[in-house]
Amino acid sequence: MAEKPRSSARNNTQADSEHTPGGDEKHPVDQSLPPLELVTTGLQHVAAMYAGVVAPPLIIGAAVGLSVTELTFLTGASLFLAGVATLLQTIGVWKIGARLPFVNGVTFASVAPMLAINKSEGAEDALPVIFGACMVAAALGFAVAPYFSKLVRFFPPVVTGTVITLIGVSLMPVAFNWAQGGDPAAPSFGAAKNIAMAGITLVVVLLLHRFTRGFVKQIAVLLGLAVGTLLAIPVGLTDFSALKSADVVGFPTPFHFGAPQFAVAAIVSMCIVMLVSMTESTADMLALGEIVERPADEKTIAAGLRADTLGSFVSPFFNGFLATAFAQNIGLVAMTKIRSRWVVAAGGGILILLGLCPAAAALVATVPQPVLGGAGVVLFGSVAASGIRTLAKADLGNDDNIVIVAVSLAVGVVPVAAPDFYHVLPGSARIILDSGISTGCATAVLLNLVFHHWRAARREGGTRRPAGDGPAGAGPGAPLPGE
């Protein structure tokens, strides 16, 4: 009898009942790690997404004129709810949760409409109106999740590869903004010391990745962030002032800013944001499924969307906003090869603790933006590279597939290459069009329908189609996806 295959690395571990074909060993997504490795790798995920999860509440809080104390409270609430949503997504309950290594947090897509709500409703009522709109939008999203997930059959490799590549490309400006300092209005934005610190952090991560092995190699990003933060102290980029005013323990009191209010215009705008977020989450789940070698099917996507929307529904009760999957953590999974969902679940637990301990949250916040930018180059670039790898599974010798990739990438990079391209359109339209991931994904799906599904539907029965119209590996005459 053949010897049972051993795990290629002790770090690829976790817990579910699914086994690998031909053996008793669990899939790496479901395996677990030793406690120390579990915590440190989970912390690495938190470090990679921390700036993204605290930025929206900081922006909205400043816009509505919150005090420093209340701004800290709002930020802590976002961290706490991000941890809850992450646990829902990774561990799962019933038919809720993709049970993949997904980190959840506040979606950036909601920032623009929330600022618009603040402008129309006034600072006093803005947060209650936002929370009410988030609750309605999340309830709608939860209801349509099973139907939304059926779109998965329209995502062959030519579509998923394009979308995954777009995710990485769309995130790169975030890394470059961090590398320059994070705040374009600051006098020091783009200063040589900021860019130098980002470059040093990048070099540290690359050296660790190249010359170390095992566990140290897996936490290269976390170590790079730590080294970069320490090196930033002498040049004045590390700010510890937030620690002075932070409490040791704090809990996000329900409806701290008032009972939710329900305004029709706000609800409509947040429902649009929810649909955009669901589109991006679907793309992220497909991307992560490819990376961890457990492709996300319709059932997985439906469960993942339920986790997103349930987390988003609970969030306003505790002063949080709409939650969605964080694409930057997909890059971390791709780079470290640690596929265990329990690692991300540990990260979710850390997020909850940070939300309950403002002082600890303030300590993590000391990581300078340029240091995050240096690490972000590696993380986000890994996502784009994963997309290119997926595109290699498609038949790019087929001219139709080349057109699908070319046009979809072009449409998807418009918000990156020309941020003001859609400025003359209404704000509700820009919510969708300014998301390159959403527009690129929609374009790829539509073109795949036009060139493959609809054309095949017009053919007489039994006619063989050209190779490359369907999923990777499908030869001439193979059925199209979804047929």
pLDDT of residue 313: 94
In the chain, where are the structural domains located?
Answer: 28-458
Averaged pLDDT score across all residues of the chain: 79
pLDDT of residue 41: 84
Residue-wise pLDDT tens digits, 58-114: 778 877 877 767 777 888 888 899 999 999 999 988 889 889 888 888 876 677 678
> pLDDT at residue 274 above 60?
yes
pLDDT of residue 386: 74
Query: Please, what sign has the CA dihedral across residues 181, 165, 148, 301?
Result: negative
CA distance 350 to 360: 10
With contact defined as beta carbons under 8 Å apart, do 100 and 90 qualify?
yes
3-state secondary structure of 24: coil
Higher pLDDT, 138 or 31: 138
**Confidence class of residue 218 from pLDDT cuts 50, 70 and 90?**
low
> pLDDT at residue 395 above 60?
yes
Complete DSSP assignment for 207-237: HHHHH--HHHHHTHHHHHHHHHHHHHTTTT-
pLDDT of residue 476: 32
pLDDT of residue 87: 92
What is the Cα 401 distance to its own chain's centre?
Answer: 27
pLDDT of residue 404: 93
> pLDDT at residue 374 above 70?
yes
Residue-wise pLDDT tens digits, 8-21: 334 443 334 344 44
**Confidence class of residue 473 from pLDDT cuts 50, 70 and 90?**
very low
What would the two tokens of residue 299 be? Answer: 């059932």
**Confidence class of residue 242 from pLDDT cuts 50, 70 and 90?**
low
> pLDDT at residue 465 above 70?
no
Cα-based distances in Å from 74 to 71, 111, 129, 446:
5, 14, 15, 40
Of the candidates 351, 322, 399, 268, the one whose C-alpha atom is nearest the C-alpha of residue 87 is: 351
pLDDT of residue 198: 93
The distance in angstroms from the start CA to the end CA of the chain is 40
pLDDT of residue 10: 40
Query: Please, what sign has the CA dihedral across residues 377, 383, 384, 389?
Result: positive
Q: How many CA atoms lie within 13 A of 135 on its CB side?
A: 17
When mean pLDDT is compared across 295-299, 454-458, 460-464, the lowest value belongs to 460-464
With contact defined as beta carbons under 8 Å apart, do 250 and 357 qualify?
yes
Give me the residue label for tokens 């054309």.
455
Cα-based distances in Å from 110 to 117, 142, 448:
11, 17, 29
3-state secondary structure of 266: helix
Q: How many CA atoms lie within 13 A of 149 on its CB side?
A: 21
pLDDT of residue 339: 85
Burial string for 222-254 (b: 16+ CB within 10 Å, else e) reads bbbbbbbbebbeeeebbeeebeeebeeebebee
Q: What is the mean pLDDT of residues 396-423?
A: 89
With contact defined as beta carbons under 8 Å apart, do 251 and 356 qualify?
yes
Residue-wise pLDDT tens digits, 295-329: 888 888 999 999 999 999 999 999 888 888 877 67
| 399 Cβ neighbours under 8 A, 6+ residues apart | none
With contact defined as beta carbons under 8 Å apart, do 110 and 53 qualify?
no
Complete DSSP assignment for 185-208: TSTTTT-HHHHHHHHHHHHHHHHH
DSSP count for the chain of H helices, then E strands: 20, 2
Count CB neighbours of 177 within 10 A. 18
Residue-wise pLDDT tens digits, 152-201: 677 788 887 888 788 778 878 878 988 998 778 888 889 999 999 999 99
Complete DSSP assignment for 125-170: HHHHHHHHHHHHHHHHHHHHHHHHGGGGGG--HHHHHHHHHHHHHH
Name the pairing type of β-strands 323-325 and 104-106: antiparallel
What would the two tokens of residue 211 be? Answer: 């010359």
> pLDDT at residue 247 above 90?
no
pLDDT of residue 275: 78
With contact defined as beta carbons under 8 Å apart, do 432 and 401 qualify?
no
Q: What is the mean pLDDT of residues 380-400?
A: 83
Higher pLDDT, 364 or 391: 391
pLDDT of residue 432: 67
Phi-psi bin for 259: left (phi > 0), alpha (psi -120 to 50), beta?
beta
